[in-house]
Amino acid sequence: MTAPRHVLILGGTSGIAVATARLFAAEGAVIGLAGRDAARLAEVAADLTARGASAVPLFPLDLATEAEPAAQLAAMRDAMGGLDDVLLAYGMMGPQAEDERDATTARRTLDVNFTSAALWALAAAALIEAQGRGGLIVLGSVAGDRGRRKNFVYGAAKAGIAALMEGIAHRFGRPGAPPGLRAVLVKPGPTRTAMTAGMDREGGSWAEPEDVARIIRRAADKGGPIVYAPGRWRWIMLVIRHLPARIFNRLDI
């Protein structure tokens, strides 16, 4: 009998996180869920248990304000009985105009999407490296590929996370490092989740959380260090990154 996989999801109530957790649940995984909303965590846990999860330990806490991620992660691993993968899936995106007008709002966007996420990612990377095996999968965004006037504060935070994950993947891949270490940044394009509610979500550029979840699930086993979700965004962003400024500035994106 194969031992169940142990997957910890930081931000376990987001649309993409829940869709991904359901894929692991169908495999009988032990799935730890961390997030602020205890009632919503319990709802998600009941759903995952019904779908086949071996166990769903819950860790209600505000990830954005937690000061000791290393200690928290070690405690979560012990409560879960082991740790194979960490998926960092939380974030927030407010109106760009408010980020530009209000320093407090801008700081919150940067703190949640970069400072907090970076500290948890660094702690998870250290834990995984210490045990000599495991995967760290972090949700970035295509918004981090080039600053665009519609969301460049959020995009700046995601660009920072991209650089951080590139560095962790470089460290994991160094000569002599344990072969069982994985660090992957998944960059979703526009996705119909609670974060994008209120936007105009019509059109073929939008993906469903389940589309992104299937890519994350594959990324936990292979691929990386950067994975676009869906894959077409690799080529779209390649074009956008290389557009001359005189053309790029005319685009309403």
3-state DSSP assignment of residue 71: helix
Q: In this structure, is the dihedral angle defined by the CA atoms of residues 113, 210, 40 and 138, taken in order, positive or negative?
A: negative
CA pair distance 8, 57, nearest whole angstrom: 9
Catalytic residue selected from 59, 90, 120, 154: 154
The answer to whether residues 80 and 53 touch, using CB atoms and an 8 Å cutoff, is: no
Return the biggest CA–CA distance within the chain: 61
Reading phi first (left if > 0) and then psi (alpha if -120 to 50, else beta), residue 222 is in beta
CA pair distance 79, 191, nearest whole angstrom: 32
Residues near 168 by beta carbon (within 8 Å), at least 6 away in sequence: 121, 122, 125, 136, 183
Token pair 């819950």 is found at 58
The answer to whether residues 8 and 80 touch, using CB atoms and an 8 Å cutoff, is: yes
Alpha-carbon distance values, 234 to 107, 114, 141, 221, 239 (Å): 29, 22, 11, 20, 9
Residue type, 112: V
Token pair 């920072």 is found at 160
**154 carries an active-site annotation:** yes
Catalytic residues: 154
